[in-house]
Amino acid sequence: MRIASWNVNSVQARLPKLLDWLGTAEPDVLCLQELKCSADAFPRDEVGELGYEVAAHGTGRWNGVAVLSKVGVDDVRRGLLDEPGYLADGAMFEAKEPRAIGATCGGVRVWSVYVPNGREVGHPHYTYKLRWLAALRATVAEELADLPFAVLGDFNIAPTDADVWDIAQFAGCTHVTAEERQALTALTEVGLTEVRPRALKHDVPFTYWDYRALRFPNNQGMRIDLVFGDERFTSAVTDAHVDRNARKGKGTSDHAPVVVDLDLP
């Protein structure tokens, strides 16, 4: 089985790229993030022609997650256990955002997650990010059972200093703080282990490169798109890599897909 994750940065804007990649990479399951469309507006017909069922969770312009599968989509769950909302500027009430969706696909339980960015250390969005990650941990602890289990997505956290192109550029910034990294460690405390992609041409398999300042051609990136699995999942992994080619050219997402191959009984 091949399971992948990709922050597509607008499924409508990247649809030709997405369809081309699906036809080439042929994942059995693809977790998408940052759809930037409602669930009803997801291009189900187009991906359906390639054999994919869709479970989507999105409300419109921002955020949004989905699971695409050729091996079935069952037991869909939208949102986390006790998921917090965010009180946006000018809003009267906290709003829960479409950032997590779980589904069982071909006997594997997968979650596609789009972790809040955090914006700045000390900003309310940073506090929201940590609260959201705590809800993710609680959801994982609740759901771990008899099926291989994995959480895939854009975590907006670089696990180590080596996972950013120049740690000096991130002093005092989000994505690299001890509190955020502790939230990743908390996932390991409930039974998950990170599946780290192998390095290809480049020593660190970055997954994100800013559109500005020639970050991609200069390989000034970050590894923030991650895969965590339980022992049943990780023990079946035969390969994991970042498809850097999907980031090349015009009209691409600023993220590249992470691809995991498994040999499941």
Q: What is the pLDDT of residue 88?
A: 84
Q: What are phi and psi of 228, to 5 degrees?
A: -120, 135
> Is 154 flagged in the annotation as binding?
yes
The Cα–Cα gap between 157 and 60 comes to 25
Q: What is the pLDDT of residue 257?
A: 98
**Rounded Cα gap, residues 195 and 226, in angstroms:** 8
Q: Going by DSSP bridges, is the β-strand pair 193-194/225-229 parallel, antiparallel, or unpaired?
A: antiparallel
Query: Is 245 labelled a binding residue?
Result: no
Q: Is 219 annotated in some ligand binding site?
A: no
Domains of the chain: 2-262 (3.60.10.10)
pLDDT mean over 57-77 = 96
Burial of 164 (0-12, 13-18, 19+ CB in 10 A): buried
DSSP per residue, 116-178: ----STTSHHHHHHHHHHHHHHHHHHHH-SSS-EEEEEE-S--SSGGGBS-GGGGTT-TTS-H
Q: Between these two residues, 87 and 72, which has the higher pLDDT value?
A: 72
Is residue 63 annotated as involved in ligand binding?
no
| Segment 188-202 mean pLDDT | 90
* Cα 254 to Cα 109: distance, rounded to the nearest angstrom: 27
Which pTM value belongs to this model? 0.97
DSSP letters, 189-200, are: HTT-EE-PPPPS
Say if residue 89's pLDDT is above 90. Answer: no
**What b/e readout covers 219-253, taking b as 16+ CB neighbours within 10 angstroms?**
ebbbbbbbbbbbebbbebbeebbbbbebbeeeebb
Q: Kindly report the average pLDDT of the chain as a whole number.
A: 96
Burial class from Cβ neighbours inside 10 Å (0-12, 13-18, 19+) for residue 40 reads exposed
Per DSSP, 219 falls in state T
Q: E-assigned strands of the chain?
A: 2-7, 29-33, 53-57, 65-69, 74-78, 100-105, 108-114, 149-154, 193-194, 225-229, 237-242, 258-262
Give helix then strand counts, H and E, for the chain: 5, 12
pLDDT, one tens digit per residue, over 37-52 is: 999 999 999 999 999 9
User: What does the pLDDT read at residue 201?
Assistant: 67
Which residues have a catalytic role annotated?
114, 154, 255
| Token reading at 5 | 């994750």
**Residue 202 has what pLDDT?**
63
254 annotated as a binding-site residue = yes
Assess whether pLDDT exceeds 90 at residue 79. yes
pLDDT digits (tens, 9 = 90+) for 249-264: 999 999 999 999 999 9
Q: Residue range 85-101: average pLDDT?
A: 89
* Residue pLDDT, tens place only, 100-130: 999 999 999 999 999 999 999 999 999 999 9
Q: Take residue 60 and report the two structure tokens written for it.
A: 């419109």
Tens of pLDDT, residues 135-185: 999 999 999 988 999 999 999 999 999 999 999 999 999 999 999 999 999
The pLDDT score that the predictor gives to residue 81 is 97
The arithmetic mean of pLDDT across residues 234-239, rounded, is: 98
Residues of the chain above pLDDT 90, percent: 92
Q: Which two tokens stand for residue 151?
A: 């959480």
